[in-house]
Amino acid sequence: MLLELAKVETFYGASQALFGVDLHMAEGEVVALMGRNGMGKTTTIRSIFGLSPLRHGTIRFDGKDISATKPYRIARLGLGLVPEGRRCFANLTVAENLLASARRGVWTIKEVNALFPRLAERSGQYANTLSGGEQQMLAVGRALMTNPQLIVLDEATEGLAPVIRQEIWKAIATLKSRGQSILVVDKTLSELLPVADRCVILERGSTVWTGMPQELTAELQDRYLGV
């Protein structure tokens, strides 16, 4: 198993956000982490990366218990995060942003530029002059430059124009076809479900359903994801 969360409970101060998250994924799988607003998706991701330490339960990555591991060490173990809100270095160029996160592996600037031709065209531009969509592509590119065994995308297409969203989904499909393991949170089911191998649904901080996209009936969608 590449990633395994068992009975994870996480708090913000005294306030409990996760009450028992179970999630597992195998190498090469694309898993969609789903649930309505505030159900604990981002907190689950923060827990995986050691950003919100868990109080109970365990998280194992590639066989190692990382439940109490520091964030910088977790990143070095081969976990790449594309956080909500596309964080890049505003005063570095596109190429510098990519180089700043580079670790040895198949993903190089050349490969990232091939995945996102828009970034290639803007290589010398400062990140703060990019459009929101381009910054999001750069955030994905930066995570790929770490050559992660698992890449985690938190709302990577949120608020972006449809044409840009399509470019990002196309890139995700390309990653999947290359066997990249991906954990992805996204609100647009029509775009998310076609790339997902499996879905994990959270409700009020607990895992309530796991299954394949084909098994996610309209009734289940209404019960767990409807507004």
Summarize as ranges the residues that interact with ligand ATP (CB under 6 A). 12, 15, 17, 35, 37-43
Q: Which is nearer to ligand ATP, 174 or 188 (CB)?
A: 188
- Residues whose CB falls within 8 Å of the CB of residue 208, separated by 6 or more in sequence, listed in order: 201, 202, 224
Shortest Å, Cβ 12 to ligand ATP: 3
Shortest Å, Cβ 127 to ligand ATP: 24
Determine how many CB atoms are found less than 10 A away from the CB of residue 97: 23
Exposure on the CB side of residue 198, measured as CA atoms within 13 A: 15
Q: Which is nearer to ligand ATP, 19 or 116 (CB)?
A: 19
CA torsion through residues 99, 100, 105, 111, sign: negative
Q: Which is nearer to ligand ATP, 39 or 175 (CB)?
A: 39
Q: Which is nearer to ligand ATP, 35 or 80 (CB)?
A: 35
Distance CA 94, CA 67 (A): 34
Q: Which is nearer to ligand ATP, 30 or 33 (CB)?
A: 33
Shortest Å, Cβ 140 to ligand ATP: 18
- Strands in the chain per DSSP E: 3-12, 15-25, 30-34, 54-61, 64-65, 79-82, 150-154, 181-185, 198-203, 206-211
Is 207 in a helix, a strand, or coil? strand
